[in-house]
Chain A
Amino acid sequence: MVPAVGRTFQWLLAACAVLLIAWAFLTVGIRELGRLLSTDARTEIVVMHWSGEGGQEEDAIVEAALARFTADNPGIRVRRINPGDAGSFYTKLQTMMASGDPPDVFYVGSERVPSFVDLGLLLPVDDFLAADVEQKVSDRLDLDGFYPATVAAFRFDGERSGQGSLYGIPKDFTTVGFYWNKDLFAKAGVSPPRDDWTWDEFIAAARRIGTLPDCTGAEFVTWPAMVRAYLMTDGLDIKGTSFEMLRTGEPAVFESLDRLRGWRHDERGALTSGKSKIASGSSVFLSGKVGMAGPFGRWVVPSYRKIPPPSQGGFDWDFVPLPRGKTEANIVLTVSWSISAQTAHPEESWRLVRFLSGEQTQRDLAKLGLAIPTIRAAAESSAFLDPSLPPANDAGYLRAAEVAQIVDWPVNPQFEALMGSRLDQGLKTADVPLPEAIANFERDWNAECASPLRGASLAPMPWDAIGLAAILLFVLVAGVWMVRLRSGSLTGREREDERAGYALASPWIVGFLLFMAFPVAMSLLLAFARWKGVSPLAQADFAGTANFEQIFTSDARFRTSMRVTLWYALIAVPTGQILALLAALLMNTKVRGIHLFRAAWYLPSVLAGVGVSVLWRWVFDSDHGLMNMALEPLLKPLGIVPPEWFGADAGVWGAPAFAIMSLWFVGGTMMVYLAGLQQVPADLLEAAAIDGAGPLRRFFSVTLPMLSPVILFNTIMAVISSFQVFTQSFVMTGGEPGDLTRFLVLYIFNQGFEFYEMGYASALAWILLVIVLVLTAIVLRTSNRWVHVEGGAK
């Protein structure tokens, strides 16, 4: 019974709780209201960009440019958002678009134009350009002064890139080629490459350099765009007349790809085997042991400029465009300033785009060395051509630009992902014969094209009906709740206490309903929907069970990710438990400084995920990684070569590598075991010793059974977390090569945040939940056979 004073206090607290909720909603409301009633008559334009490789300098240049713009345009206020690198940028852009509040002006990579246009996210700028000409605007853009391919990259007519409306003004671009180590070329007696060199010369140089001690001829990245660029130099491509008609079956295409595979896998020393350099192929060049690295664009230059000269232990380097095959070709990779289709201020936005894409801003940005101005005059000026800084061959990029084409992509962003993962299995890791890898790619892409989820028109999601049903359900539940609250055997006092309790818990309850229950329920609904995560929810279509059908019948990547995840769980769960238990046994001994040892074991568990992942990427590097350096002397006498963890051997060793890495975090589990061990009654162990049991027998017959509830708990936690691997694979491998380290959660992320298939991702997430539930149920079911619970209750 609560005394009267306590009761007043109780209600005071409850009132505080309710006020807290009201305040949370009010602050947001007032902010919005303030914006609405703002006396600032200026138009607000929201600009979003990234500054990945450009870093703070790029950030500062954009900021300065915006300051100049607002000075010239006093009627416009600019709010700038820079989420960091391109990845964070696109995630932020996606959430802003989905919430119906996208920035007005933002960066768009040319590869995203088809899918963004398809989703109706971008505003065409042709009319603005025409109007500028008509009105003879002084700083109007003259597209003829731009490199044509860069402009073509942002044209899309709904089916093809390079034609149709223009969806942004390219701000800068790059062509691609190889960065070459001048010192190694000289050492190997290879003459410097000319801008019009051939693939024969390329491979001859690579082979010669590969004979130098510890050196490899070239690092050749097999990113989809680069593979297509490579084919273009033979006058070929993956894509036929359309993306539905692949040319992969053509003998010439196969021959060309097989030549690349052969260079990498049939000979030693010519090309790196593409071992662990998945995440950042360009950094291999920094070692000074690789003759050439590419095909890369201009973006590597800022980091390569940090290579010291030979006198300080570094080396000299330069750039050379992509070699010629049957023809001379190159590609442009470019980023535009584009305008949101939903902008409320198209006119002002265009003025900003025109300003930011203008020559002055381009010249400023060119000084970063990161990219080439798209305006020819700026590119050919000293802003870009800077003889005082490497690479000496700045002109090489511009020469390549003359023959460069756009690399177009279909509306469905899965094409690039599938091409990358499937062809990599043949080209990069060679764990699948090339014809099979190509066939897999064709099969998966054709399945993707034929999917009922693509293209076919579906009925819109009946949100009204769902909302009505939800309200009815809510009313029903609330009603039953109220009735239960009123009835029951509670006295008036108890009922009052109960109400006060609910009022006190209300901040949590409201938070739970809003931020947990609602999203969970939404994801369940979306699992039966087709919804592009970048469009408003109202545009979601009802897909029935199509998501699940596709997942289970034709999604090879799902099966691969399932296999990877299970393989990982199979290794990580038992080894993690055994190691944690052994460590706990060690930490349970009475040794001087035991607290120090315990802390040391626990320490890795408190370290941040991304930093640790970067560290372990180095550890598992096939050539210079700690793991293989340790394994080599052990395995060499047996005639075994250490595995290329995230390379050729990723199919078998990729997931185990992550499992090994997970052992780094056993400290937490160890602590739980340690607590369990300290609960094992000493007299039981003594009784067993008296009964003649040795240390091992005591462990297995007494300690282990007494620890079984802890083992059960830890095992369930481990099973659950083994299905949640994300950060490691996202940071270390990105799921590559060939999806062989693409864990289920990473795949869900890819579907949701790269392909914007939120419905599909929701379906995958629910499948993951069911799998985890089933596995947990199995563990619990078997537990009464092996878990001993004190006190009788199971």
Chain B
Amino acid sequence: MAPVILQGVSKVYANGVKAVDCVSLSIADGEFVVLVGPSGCGKSTTLRMIAGLEEISSGSLIVGETRMNDVPARRRNMAMVFQNYALYPHLDVRRNMAFGLERRRSHGSLLKALLNSTYRDKRTAERKAIDARVSAAAATLGIESLLHRKPRELSGGQRQRVAVGRALVRDPVAFLFDEPLSNLDAKLRGEMRTELRLLHQRLRATMVYVTHDQEEAMSLADRLVVMKDGVVQQVGTPTQVYGRPANRFVAGFVGTPTMNFINGTIEAGGVFRWSAGTLQLPQARWVGLSGWQGKPLELGVRPDQIRVGTGSSRGRVIAVENYGDRMDVVIESGGLRLTSRSPTAPLREGTESSFELLLESAHLFDPAAAGNSLPHLSPTSTA
């Protein structure tokens, strides 16, 4: 296990397309880092550069203490789980899992094995060790009974486990996951997520995980790396990214349902004016923002910070999604659609309802500055 450090890593393709733009990232030994972003954001390319499947155009990749830019994939000693599992279809599960270990076994001619008994013993011992490790990994993943099957005889979930198992038997410096769960159904995906999390807890291995599913990212990551158009938008723990999104993109990307965005301006006294009226920002939120007075801004409010049935604002309920334990309500007001999430809401579609925006943890974004988040002054700093 070793830390993985990216220093200003970029990927520019021959046709001039810049897929990854100057990514710097330090992944600590044993850390579970998830690269997340919409498709085409460069997360997979970044992962493939770490794996050695893509050449690094500029910048450095350092694993442990070694610069790995020019080390071929097969010598990087990483393990990777692919989206389509990439199981060798002609080999059974055992040999699929053993493939990487076999490659690292001592190699010599059959003649040498016949003539040299020491060498022969060494090879036998190695073979036994490989078998033992494969069996152990299979036991961990509960796939012992599948060892003699060919991949085509396995279900999607089983293939997924074998793919993980193939990575597991190795003793790699890092595990790389390239959207490994995206081909599974929702239920299985949830189960595998937990298992991966448990696996990480047990192995304490460096893991780099790529997904476009922010929920999956949040649930797995020690630290999230949110990317867009090849550029890292924010790096942080799930709490940081959710609670203090660096910009409007991150704020919109993370969290379900998506954050509500309201265009408007701040006026004196922390009054936020928007199309349906005015909102009074709490003192803690607007202090220090006087410089933005009169400028167009975006106010971001998470759905769980909108209460329906109370408050002074009024709107029309246009959709109610009942999840049993909670309800998502879409309200139209002032030409905007706002989504609210609340435990219960005895509302009917088409009716008028009052609602209230809780603005203690509201976010303000400056469209003029690429949607960057306006400074959040914590109550302590204002004091």
A788 CA / B52 CA spacing, docked (Å): 29
* Known contacts A684-B86, A684-B88, A702-B88; A792/B53 CB under 8 A: no
> Does A790 contact B103, Cβ atoms closer than 8 Å?
no
- Looking at A684, A690, A693, A701, which has the most chain B CB atoms within 10 Å of its CB? A690
* Known contacts A790-B152, A792-B153; A705/B90 CB under 8 A: yes
Task: Tell me if A697 counts as interface (CB < 8 A to partner B).
Answer: yes
- Near A by CB (< 8 A), chain B positions 103-152 give 103-104, 152
Residue of A nearest to B76 (CB): A690
- Near A by CB (< 8 A), chain B positions 71-107 give 72-80, 82-84, 86, 88-90, 99-100, 103-104
Task: Tell me if B218 counts as interface (CB < 8 A to partner A).
Answer: no
> Does A689 contact B52, Cβ atoms closer than 8 Å?
yes
A787 CA / B75 CA spacing, docked (Å): 30
Residues in B neighbouring A708, C-beta threshold 8 A: 90
> Does A686 contact B89, Cβ atoms closer than 8 Å?
no
* Known contacts A683-B84, A697-B103; A690/B89 CB under 8 A: no
Residues in B neighbouring A697, C-beta threshold 8 A: 103
* Known contacts A689-B73, A690-B80; A792/B152 CB under 8 A: yes
> Does A689 contact B72, Cβ atoms closer than 8 Å?
yes
A705 CA / B150 CA spacing, docked (Å): 14
Residue of A nearest to B99 (CB): A691
Return the CB mask of A594-631 against B: 1 if under 8 Å, else 0: 00000000000000000000000000000000000000
A791 CA / B90 CA spacing, docked (Å): 11
For residue B169, give the distance in angstroms from its CB to the closest CB of chain A: 10
> Does B53 contact A788, Cβ atoms closer than 8 Å?
no
Task: Tell me if A477 counts as interface (CB < 8 A to partner B).
Answer: no
- Looking at A683, A692, A705, A792, which has the most chain B CB atoms within 10 Å of its CB? A692
Residue of A nearest to B152 (CB): A792
Residues in A neighbouring B88, C-beta threshold 8 A: 684, 687-688, 701-702, 705
A686 CA / B82 CA spacing, docked (Å): 9
Within the complex, which residue of B82, B100, B103, B104 is in contact with A683, where a contact is CB–CB below 8 Å?
B82
Task: Tell me if A75 counts as interface (CB < 8 A to partner B).
Answer: no
> Does A690 contact B51, Cβ atoms closer than 8 Å?
yes
Residues in A neighbouring B153, C-beta threshold 8 A: 792
Task: Tell me if A215 counts as interface (CB < 8 A to partner B).
Answer: no
Residue of B nearest to A705 (CB): B90
> Does A706 contact B100, Cβ atoms closer than 8 Å?
no
A706 CA / B170 CA spacing, docked (Å): 24
> Does B86 contact A693, Cβ atoms closer than 8 Å?
no
- Looking at A683, A694, A706, A708, which has the most chain B CB atoms within 10 Å of its CB? A683
For residue A515, give the distance in angstroms from its CB to the closest CB of chain B: 43
Task: Tell me if A158 counts as interface (CB < 8 A to partner B).
Answer: no
Within the complex, which residue of B77, B99, B104 is in contact with A688, where a contact is CB–CB below 8 Å?
B99
Residue of B nearest to A786 (CB): B90
A142 CA / B88 CA spacing, docked (Å): 89
> Does B74 contact A686, Cβ atoms closer than 8 Å?
no
Residues in B neighbouring A694, C-beta threshold 8 A: 74
Within the complex, which residue of B72, B84, B89, B100 is in contact with A691, where a contact is CB–CB below 8 Å?
B100
A693 CA / B107 CA spacing, docked (Å): 12
- Near B by CB (< 8 A), chain A positions 759-792 give 788, 790-792
Residue of A nearest to B172 (CB): A690
Residues in A neighbouring B53, C-beta threshold 8 A: 686, 689-690
Residue of B nearest to A791 (CB): B152
Within the complex, which residue of A684, A692, A791 is in contact with B74, where a contact is CB–CB below 8 Å?
A692
> Does B104 contact A692, Cβ atoms closer than 8 Å?
yes
A520 CA / B89 CA spacing, docked (Å): 43
A552 CA / B51 CA spacing, docked (Å): 64
Task: Tell me if A519 counts as interface (CB < 8 A to partner B).
Answer: no
- Near B by CB (< 8 A), chain A positions 697-722 give 697, 701-702, 705-706, 708
> Does A788 contact B90, Cβ atoms closer than 8 Å?
yes
Residues in B neighbouring A706, C-beta threshold 8 A: 89-90
Residues in B neighbouring A702, C-beta threshold 8 A: 88
* Known contacts A692-B74, A692-B100, A692-B104; A686/B90 CB under 8 A: no
A375 CA / B119 CA spacing, docked (Å): 91
> Does B90 contact A690, Cβ atoms closer than 8 Å?
no
A694 CA / B102 CA spacing, docked (Å): 12
Residues in A neighbouring B77, C-beta threshold 8 A: 692
A687 CA / B72 CA spacing, docked (Å): 13
Residues in A neighbouring B76, C-beta threshold 8 A: 690
> Does A701 contact B99, Cβ atoms closer than 8 Å?
yes
For residue B116, give the distance in angstroms from its CB to the closest CB of chain A: 23
- Looking at B76, B86, B153, which has the most chain A CB atoms within 10 Å of its CB? B86
A681 CA / B87 CA spacing, docked (Å): 10
Within the complex, which residue of A687, A692, A693, A788 is in contact with B82, where a contact is CB–CB below 8 Å?
A687
For residue A683, give the distance in angstroms from its CB to the closest CB of chain B: 4
A692 CA / B170 CA spacing, docked (Å): 11
A790 CA / B87 CA spacing, docked (Å): 12
A683 CA / B88 CA spacing, docked (Å): 10
A267 CA / B166 CA spacing, docked (Å): 72
* Known contacts A790-B89, A791-B152; A690/B79 CB under 8 A: yes
A286 CA / B95 CA spacing, docked (Å): 67
Residues in A neighbouring B51, C-beta threshold 8 A: 686, 690
A691 CA / B166 CA spacing, docked (Å): 9
- Near A by CB (< 8 A), chain B positions 140-184 give 152-153, 166, 170
For residue B170, give the distance in angstroms from its CB to the closest CB of chain A: 8
> Does A689 contact B82, Cβ atoms closer than 8 Å?
no
A690 CA / B74 CA spacing, docked (Å): 5
Residue of B nearest to A691 (CB): B100
Residues in B neighbouring A692, C-beta threshold 8 A: 74-75, 77, 100, 103-104
- Looking at A691, A705, A706, which has the most chain B CB atoms within 10 Å of its CB? A691
For residue B160, give the distance in angstroms from its CB to the closest CB of chain A: 14
Residues in A neighbouring B103, C-beta threshold 8 A: 691-693, 697
Residue of B nearest to A790 (CB): B89
> Does B78 contact A690, Cβ atoms closer than 8 Å?
yes
- Looking at B51, B82, B153, which has the most chain A CB atoms within 10 Å of its CB? B82
For residue B103, give the distance in angstroms from its CB to the closest CB of chain A: 4
* Known contacts A689-B73, A692-B104, A693-B74; A681/B52 CB under 8 A: no
Residues in B neighbouring A687, C-beta threshold 8 A: 80, 82, 86, 88, 166
* Known contacts A691-B100, A692-B103, A792-B152; A686/B86 CB under 8 A: yes
A693 CA / B83 CA spacing, docked (Å): 20
A48 CA / B76 CA spacing, docked (Å): 80
For residue A787, give the distance in angstroms from its CB to the closest CB of chain B: 9
> Does B73 contact A788, Cβ atoms closer than 8 Å?
no
For residue B140, give the distance in angstroms from its CB to the closest CB of chain A: 19
A481 CA / B104 CA spacing, docked (Å): 64
- Looking at B79, B83, B99, B153, which has the most chain A CB atoms within 10 Å of its CB? B99
Residues in B neighbouring A788, C-beta threshold 8 A: 89-90
A316 CA / B78 CA spacing, docked (Å): 81
Chain A residues engaging chain B, CB cutoff 8 angstroms: 681, 683-684, 686-694, 697, 701-702, 705-706, 708, 788, 790-792
The list of the 9 closest CB pairs from A to B, nearest first, reads: A691-B100, A788-B90, A692-B103, A687-B86, A705-B90, A683-B86, A689-B73, A692-B74, A690-B80
Chain B residues engaging chain A, CB cutoff 8 angstroms: 51-53, 72-80, 82-84, 86, 88-90, 99-100, 103-104, 152-153, 166, 170
Pairs across A and B, CB under 8 Å, 27 listed: A683-B82, A683-B83, A683-B86, A684-B86, A686-B53, A686-B80, A686-B86, A687-B80, A687-B82, A689-B52, A689-B53, A689-B74, A690-B73, A690-B74, A690-B76, A691-B100, A691-B103, A691-B166, A692-B74, A692-B100, A692-B104, A693-B74, A694-B74, A702-B88, A705-B88, A706-B89, A788-B89
What would 12 more interface pairs be, CB under 8 Å, given A690-B80, A790-B89?
A687-B166, A688-B99, A689-B72, A690-B52, A690-B53, A690-B73, A692-B104, A701-B99, A702-B88, A706-B89, A788-B89, A791-B152
